[in-house]
Amino acid sequence: NRTLNSKTFNSHGFYLMTLLNGSTNDAETVLEIFWIKNFYNIIVVIEKNQNLQAFTLFPFNEGNCNKTEVKMINEFDSKLSKWSEAFKFPKKMRNLHKFRVKYGFSEKISFRTPDGSYHGIEIDLMNEFGRILNFTADHVLVKNSVILLKNRSKPIWSKEMIEKIVDVSASSMQLE
Size (the chain), residues:
176
pLDDT tens column, 148-176: 555 555 555 566 666 777 877 765 554 44
Q: Is the pLDDT of residue 10 over 50?
A: yes
Count CB-CB contacts under 10 A for residue 134: 13
Q: How large is the average pLDDT for residues 132-155?
A: 68
pLDDT averaged over every residue in the chain? 76
Q: How large is the average pLDDT for residues 134-138?
A: 84
pLDDT tens column, 87-117: 777 776 666 777 788 888 776 667 778 887 7
Count CB-CB contacts under 10 A for residue 11: 13
pLDDT of res. 119: 79
Helices within the chain (DSSP H only): 2-5, 24-36, 121-133, 159-162
pLDDT of res. 45: 92
